Amino acid sequence: MVLSQALTGFVFTLALCFVKAAIECTDDHCAEDPIQSGLLSWYEEWKQGFQVAYITVDDLRDEYDFIVIGAGVGGSVVAHRLAMHDSHPAVLLLEAGSKHQTSGVHPEITPVLVQLNQLTDIDWQFKSEPSDGYCCEWYNNSQLAMPRGKVMGGSGVLNYMMWVRGHRADWDDLMRVDGWTWDDVLPFFKKIESVHAYGGFRSQLDGVRGFDGPVIVNAASELRSRGTVFEDAAIEACEAEGIPYLPFGQNNGDNIG
């Protein structure tokens, strides 16, 4: 366990150093390096999604039509939906934590570093009940850390921002609840997301993906043009073993690949 934690810490520290060096590099050779220029372009694009207009106590109104508690992904979407209503209601979105850090190379906005946000002051640091004989028995006091976000953006700041709907068969065969089949939940998945990818193939994806919702979703495959020899080799190795490459991601009903 100690070795695993030390190795994890080393990997994240190394990743931080690489990202920081690539993004902050201003030499001419950095602009010519496809990996560094691609990383810089991606990072600047990524940061745009974290710009938030905060208000102070002095800006508060005497009353609001709706008050939404919790500015995670769910609360933010609810507040947005309410604010966009034709009646133009006054909506207040409250979050217990601090402002989101968006300057420089910060773990709060760098996906590969998000684990560094856990067990910090932006994490409620909840723990499971002590459990003997189950998954937590080897942890301290047999409790498992349950990170929950205490920051603008909620728990999305503490996880890897993976947007995964699950497999069609999981909804149809495992859930077995009326109103919760894949076809039942698909319209809501589409309604909530705004996919900023696959521009030239939108007509092929209209049936399964959403492009006008409040939650912006990017695609890892969009980074392939900025990828590395290692990434290409990994994909080729998987395909050689019969694991297909999914050009349109893992949210189309079949996420095996």
Nearest to 55 by CA among 92, 25, 22: 92
pLDDT value for 245: 83
Classify residue 86 by its DSSP letter: T
Q: Mean pLDDT over residues 228-248, rounded?
A: 82
Task: Say which amino acid occupies 251.
Answer: N
Do residues 76 and 84 make contact, with C-beta atoms less than 8 angstroms apart? no
Greater model confidence, 47 or 26:
47
Task: Say which amino acid occupies 43.
Answer: Y
List, for residues 130-142, the tens digit of each pLDDT value. 877 666 666 777 7
List, for residues 8-19, the tens digit of each pLDDT value. 444 545 555 555
